[in-house]
Amino acid sequence: MSNMYWLLAAVFILGAERAGSETQGFCDFDASSRVNCGNERTSYDTCKSNGCCYDSSKMGYIWCFQPWSVKALHFRNTEVLAAMECNLYRICNYNNPSARANCGMEGINEQKCTKENDCCYDEKTSGVPSCFPKDLIAEKPTCNPNNRVNCAYPNVTLEACLRLKCCFDNSTLGKPYCYNTEKKNVTVTCNVATSEKVNCGMDGISKDTCRNKDCCYYETPTGPWCYKMKITG
């Protein structure tokens, strides 16, 4: 956050030139949680070609920042690496059987499925895998500009506000400008319906290569075996 003043100035100088805002998926999280992925002079093109997120629309925040990295959803004992503080839950979602990826061999029993593979088991629906991977829910802090509740003492500075992990936005006069974060759940899943699967590699890509790209690898009867995780919320 030591670059804050430089950034503030730079936003005014460069903001008009390239008010690029790409805050989808892995890049879409609370701006005060951003971790630098370049330096003050990193251009849009360099930033993107380094695989980083770029968003210069939020005044006072880092604009070339590390993506929120969701890794290895499917590996046991590995958790999401998040460039922010968030609570993580792994849950079994029984609601959408037709989207299930297969987490074990045909005929796998409940014990092996849940204990050894750390997956979910449900044999109520025929014709779909009864052993399928858990979804992951990340409860992350967000800045909701409505419902603002003061988060700090009056006249708090920008730096002090961010140090307290509050949200800062002083563009609306008469509203609290250093305000509480709210929580939002984001779901990351490999249980993706065939029609929604997005290919994440060449045909024949290996399991390891696929998963190293943070994609899902499941040998399903239809659709690509290596496909992108679905992120909602």
Ligand X SMILES: *[C@@H]1O[C@H](CO)[C@@H](O)[C@H](O)[C@H]1NC(C)=O
**Footprint of ligand X on this chain (CB under 6 A)?**
8, 60, 89, 91, 137, 139, 154-155, 158, 170, 183, 185
Cβ nearer to ligand X, comparing 188 with 215:
188
Cβ nearer to ligand X, comparing 68 with 217:
68
Contacts of 93 (CB under 8 A, 6+ apart): 120, 135, 189, 191
Shortest separation between residue 184's beta carbon and ligand X, angstroms = 6
* Strand blocks (E) in 85-146: 87-91, 120-121, 131-132, 135-142
Alpha carbon distances (Å) from 68 to 29, 80, 172, 206: 8, 9, 28, 24
Shortest separation between residue 144's beta carbon and ligand X, angstroms = 11
Do the Cβ atoms of 168 and 62 come closer than 8 Å?
no
Cβ nearer to ligand X, comparing 136 with 226:
136
Cβ nearer to ligand X, comparing 8 with 19:
8
188 bridge partner residues: 136, 231
Shortest separation between residue 125's beta carbon and ligand X, angstroms = 22
CA separation for the pair 122, 75 (Å, rounded): 20
Shortest separation between residue 127's beta carbon and ligand X, angstroms = 28
